[in-house]
Amino acid sequence: MTQKNKGTTDGLPYAMRDKRILQKDQKFRFACHAGLPCFNTCCGDVNILLTPLDVLRLSRSRGLATGEFLSRHTLSPFTKELHLPVLLLKMNDDEDKRCPFLAEQGCGVYGDRPWSCRMYPLGMGLPPARAGVEPEPVYFLFADDFCAGRDESTEWTVQTWLADQGITARENLEEGYREIVSHPWFIGGRQLEPRRIELFHMAFYNLDKFREFIFDSTFLDRFELEDDLVEQLRDGDEALLKFASRWLRFALFAEPTMKVRESASEAGLSEQDGS
Ligand code: SF4
Ligand code: SF4
């Protein structure tokens, strides 16, 4: 039965309007496993959106620096409707356009598979930002005819699926990204200037470059950071990813999330992005 949540679909992408919207405790049936006629056929010619955590985990599991991973494995299509850049996983350049990580037995990067791959057959949308309102994700169910997993008997709720797929466990590291992309600053269609978009791209997607930016520039002369945090940022990827959203709130939206050193202010070094 199709259920529309009329209170939450307003302003969501048009593509979601004919989907079955699910509350977190609502049930659906699904299982994906070898033996299904469709097994391994859906991992090709598909748009897999990558989150910053996806880029980090896949880079590390491939033994690549984040910049190298970005140039080898991602595309960043430009569309005027988007206020921030998105990253897509680059499919192979052959007839089937298969995912480069697809193996005989299924996903070859299963433990580090992207958020979109974990979510399927669910999708998630965020309503447009509204001042003073925390955007609540809206979940919906894809109804792809090619997917035989929809006829399996295993029953899930949104909640149990998110937990089973490790999405709930990642939330702590993903929330900063989600808060930035749905930030109320964008209300009314405001656009960031190109320099700020570059900062977003570096801090969230190219973490190795962001680390260099912190440690090989005057960043630490400009901003006052707790000593133990500085040490975590030196070696800790997840600490750095969390810090990226704190710094971007300052650099993109002038939120008071960073403390500018007095000496930097006096010397005129307090430019918002610290670059
Ligand atoms: S990353 Fe894995 S699950 Fe995702 S499209 Fe590629 S092979 Fe399929
Ligand atoms: S089409 Fe559905 S069931 Fe088949 S492999 Fe893909 S996700 Fe699994």
**pLDDT value for 268:** 57
Is residue 138 within 8 A of residue 127, CB to CB? The reply is yes
Phi first, then psi, for residue 22 (nearest 5°) are -120, 135
**pLDDT value for 100:** 97
Residue nearest to atom 5 of ligand 2 (CA): 39
Q: Is 50 in the pocket of ligand 1 (CB under 6 A)?
A: no
DSSP states along 233-255: HHH-HHHHHHHHHHHHHHHHH--
Residues of 77-98 as b/e, b for ≥16 C-beta within 10 angstroms?
eeeeeeebebbbbbbeeeeeeb
**pLDDT 10s digits, 209-262:** 999 999 999 999 999 999 999 999 999 999 999 999 999 999 999 999 999 998
**pLDDT value for 79:** 66
Q: Are strands 155-157 and 138-141 parallel, antiparallel or unpaired?
A: unpaired
3-state secondary structure 90-118: CCCCCCCCECCCEECCEECCHHHCCHHHH
What global pTM score does this model have?
0.90
Q: Is 102 in the pocket of ligand 1 (CB under 6 A)?
A: yes
For a pocket test of ligand 1, which of 40, 61, 74, 102 has the largest count of ligand atoms closer than 8 A to its C-beta? 102
* Number of residues written out for the chain: 275
Give the list of residues 6+ apart from residue 269 with CB closer than 8 angstroms, or none. 218, 221, 222
The C-alpha angle 107, 110, 113, rounded to 5 degrees, equals 100
**pLDDT value for 274:** 52
DSSP states along 150-208: GGS--EEEHHHHHHHTTHHHHHHHHHHHHHHHT-GGGTTT----HHHHHHHHHHHH-HH
**Distance, CA of 22 to CA of 140 (rounded, Å):** 5
**In which residue ranges of the chain is pLDDT below 50?**
1-9, 270
Distance from Cα 170 to the centre of ligand 2, integer Å: 23
**pLDDT value for 187:** 83
Distance from Cα 187 to the centre of ligand 2, integer Å: 37
Residue type, 258: M
Q: How far apart are the first and last CA of the chain?
A: 53
Domain boundaries, the chain: 3-185, 192-267
Q: Is the peptide bond before 121 cis (omega within 30 degrees of 0)?
A: yes
Q: What is the atom index within ligand 2 of the atom nearest the CA of 152?
A: 3
The residues lining ligand 2, judged by C-beta closer than 6 Å to any ligand atom, are 32, 36, 38-39, 42, 120, 146-149
3-state secondary structure 26-54: CEEECCCCECECCCCCCCECCCCEECHHH
Distance from Cα 33 to the centre of ligand 2, integer Å: 8
Residue nearest to atom 2 of ligand 2 (CA): 147
Distance from Cα 153 to the centre of ligand 2, integer Å: 14
Q: Is 32 in the pocket of ligand 1 (CB under 6 A)?
A: no
Q: Is 91 in the pocket of ligand 1 (CB under 6 A)?
A: no
